[in-house]
């Protein structure tokens, strides 16, 4: 029975440090945790690691794995740990930072001993397959004021077959990389002149974004949400009162001084929605109140963490906040869960995971149990399995996280729904009850797509840029064989546009084969070929994406019916 993957990969990180100690004694090991799909280890070394160095390290790692060294551990005093690592200031710093009362342990394989809290395989032989992937820079403890280290990434698996499957997945992922496809398909760009982590939506990308927003708006309208719009900056005092300045200080941009008052770019939409609620007296007859906004927020992300659309500094959320009476909480959460399922299903995700995030015992209050019960009941009543993410709740309460697996099996965290008893208390929100007394409402924070930028990036990679017809920015290109059919091709395009489709004409004088190849690389769902015969008969010859066989000509009306059916069925 192989050990859990995180233990196997943690052991592989130790094996990497052991190999580095043997081959490059001047390289000082610092930290090396297991991460999703692999592990890394950070080293201080003046000379950069090269590809040939990685190959040598990997060969030495294979030898250490084959030797099947037992992983042994011992608890030591702080003084003993500091003495052991006297030549490595990074390990000394780690040892000295371990809180009083916590055990300090050293783990050894073969001739290598590391400071570690544990969680390993029993021996190095448990690692069935290991491969080093890349090297990158990383600041010590993630702080740019600290020394720059070299981070070596690797992956480890119980068997070679699993490693090969993972490498094939990586190869497919590179083809689907949304940054590459975004440029090739003219969807978006990150303009360094404007600053990293800020997204420029090009016309085709903006069309898809609009389709996503309209789909979400349909659900909001059907469920009685009210649109609101809030400012992009607000007084710092608002975020002090909400607790965001205290709990998310690392992710909030610095203050803007205006006439002696400090403002902040908004990191969250909820304080703005709270102020709208608070702007007038509320009655129980008004509740639930559901405010919705496609609200753009700003988060400070270090440049090294930015990644295309999936990690940015400015992004728009399909954000909504519900204010309800406690007895309405269950029904409100359930309708939110239904809307999440509708969204995920429509956009083609079939493999979904649900996680109930609870708060740590240190900050847990009695109302947390109420929120957790509401989340569990909503999921259980719909037959949706879930796992508990202990300690994963928001600072103001428990939450539901929705993860999806894309077409090649990767997991992405998208939507989140959070139950909040804290912010209504902080802002002293009330409603007048049927008994004539003031009562405190409950809040639900809801962003089902999450960040539209991230959601779009995930969609690009899920579909490999080949969006289904209902979502494609250009659904049809009419390609005349020669300039003599250009007039007819334009007439066909206009009929398609009148029917509500996104259609274009290829007016270039290129040969037909080149036109078809070009539009296939642009992943357009349909190319309609129009030659002399089609122009005379009033037909088109469809070339459908993903189908190599040649289709016979059909009437324009027949094609309109075919495409309308696909769009209706979200295909």
Q: Active site residue: 299, 410, 493, 523, which one?
A: 299
Q: Active site residue: 131, 270, 485, 515, which one?
A: 270
Which pair of tokens denotes residue 563?
A: 């495409």
Of 414, 422, 426, the closest CA to residue 451 belongs to 414
Instruction: Give backbone dihedrals phi and psi of 404, rounded to 5 degrees, phi first.
Output: -125, 155
Is 399 one of the annotated active-site residues of the chain? yes
Q: Active site residue: 445, 446, 454, 515, which one?
A: 445
Q: Active site residue: 317, 335, 418, 475, which one?
A: 317
Maximum Cα interatomic distance, the chain, rounded to a whole number of Å: 92
Burial degree of 171 (CB within 10 A; 0-12, 13-18, 19+): exposed
Say if CB 289 and CB 282 are below 8 A apart: yes
Cis peptide bond N-terminal to 288, omega within 30 = yes
Which pair of tokens denotes residue 403?
A: 């993860």
Is 324 one of the annotated active-site residues of the chain? no
371 vs 399: CA distance, rounded Å: 8
Q: Active site residue: 53, 318, 319, 368, which one?
A: 319
Is 270 one of the annotated active-site residues of the chain? yes
Q: Active site residue: 10, 399, 454, 462, which one?
A: 399
Secondary structure E strands in 30-187: 34-35, 38-44, 72-76, 104-109, 112-115, 129-139, 148-157
Q: Where are the alpha helices (DSSP H) in 24-139?
A: 51-67, 78-84, 89-97
Helix, coil or strand: residue 232: coil
356 vs 426: CA distance, rounded Å: 24
415 vs 384: CA distance, rounded Å: 15
Of 303, 301, 298, 300, the closest CA to residue 314 belongs to 298
Is 299 one of the annotated active-site residues of the chain? yes
The Cβ of residue 165 has, within 10 Å, a number of other Cβ atoms equal to: 13
Helix, coil or strand: residue 298: strand
Say if CB 172 and CB 141 are below 8 A apart: no
Is 321 one of the annotated active-site residues of the chain? yes
Say if CB 219 and CB 343 are below 8 A apart: yes
- Residues carrying an active site annotation: 270, 299, 317, 319, 321, 399, 445
């Amino acid at each position: 029975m192989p050990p859990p993957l995180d233990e196997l990969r943690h052991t592989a990180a130790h094996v990497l440090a052991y190999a580095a100690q043997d081959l490059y004694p001047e390289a000082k090991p610092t930290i090396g945790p297991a991460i999703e799909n692999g592990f890394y280890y950070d080293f201080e070394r003046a000379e950069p690691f090269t590809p040939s160095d990685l190959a040598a390290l990997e060969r030495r790692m294979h030898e250490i794995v084959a030797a099947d060294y037992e992983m042994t551990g011992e608890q030591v005093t702080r003084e003993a740990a500091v003495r052991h690592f006297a030549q490595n200031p990074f390990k000394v710093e780690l040892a000295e930072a371990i809180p009083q009362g916590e055990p300090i342990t050293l783990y050894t394989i073969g001739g290598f001993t590391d400071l570690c809290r544990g969680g390993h395989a029993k021996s190095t032989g448990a690692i069935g397959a290991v491969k080093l992937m890349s090297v990158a820079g990383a600041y010590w403890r993630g702080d740019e004021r600290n020394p720059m280290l070299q981070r070596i990434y690797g992956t480890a698996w119980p068997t070679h077959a699993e490693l090969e499957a993972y490498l094939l997945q990586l190869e497919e992922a590179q083809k689907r990389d949304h940054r590459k496809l975004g440029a090739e398909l003219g969807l978006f760009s990150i303009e360094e002149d404007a600053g990293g982590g800020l997204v420029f939506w090009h016309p085709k990308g903006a069309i898809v974004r609009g389709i996503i927003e309209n789909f979400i708006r349909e659900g909001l309208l059907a469920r009685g949400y009210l649109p609101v719009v809030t400012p992009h900056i607000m007084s710092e005092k608002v975020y002090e009162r909400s607790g965001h300045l205290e709990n998310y200080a690392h992710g909030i941009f610095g203050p803007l001084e205006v006439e002696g008052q400090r403002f902040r770019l908004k990191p969250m939409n909820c304080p703005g929605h709270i102020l709208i609620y608070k702007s007038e007296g509320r009655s129980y007859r008004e509740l639930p109140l559901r405010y919705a906004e496609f609200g753009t927020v700003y988060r400070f992300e270090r440049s090294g963490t930015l990644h295309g659309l999936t990690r940015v500094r400015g992004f728009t959320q399909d954000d909504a906040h519900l204010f309800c009476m406690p007895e309405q909480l269950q029904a409100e959460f359930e309708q939110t869960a239904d809307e999440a399922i509708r969204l995920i299903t429509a956009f083609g995700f079939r493999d979904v995971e649900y996680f109930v995030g609870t708060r740590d015992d240190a900050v847990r209050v009695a109302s947390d149990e109420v929120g957790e019960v509401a989340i569990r009941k909503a999921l259980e009543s719909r037959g949706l399995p879930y796992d508990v993410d202990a300690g994963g709740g928001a600072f103001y309460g428990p939450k539901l996280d929705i993860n999806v697996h894309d077409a090649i099996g990767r997991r992405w965290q998208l939507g989140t729904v959070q139950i909040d008893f804290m912010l209504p208390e902080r802002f002293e929100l009330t409603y007048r009850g049927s008994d004539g007394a003031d009562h405190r409402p409950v809040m639900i924070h809801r962003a089902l797509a999450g960040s539209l930028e991230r959601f779009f990036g995930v969609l690009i990679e899920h579909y490999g840029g080949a969006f289904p017809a209902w979502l494609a920015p250009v659904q049809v290109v009419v390609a005349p064989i020669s300039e003599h059919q250009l007039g007819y091709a334009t007439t066909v395009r206009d009929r398609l546009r009148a029917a509500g489709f996104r259609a274009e004409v290829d007016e270039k004088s290129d040969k037909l084969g080149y036109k078809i190849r070009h539009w296939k690389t642009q992943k357009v769902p349909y190319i309609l070929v129009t030659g002399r015969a089609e122009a005379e008969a009033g037909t088109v010859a469809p070339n459908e994406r993903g189908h190599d066989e040649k289709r016979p000509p059909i009437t324009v009306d027949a094609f309109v019916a075919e495409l309308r059916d696909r769009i209706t069925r979200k295909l």
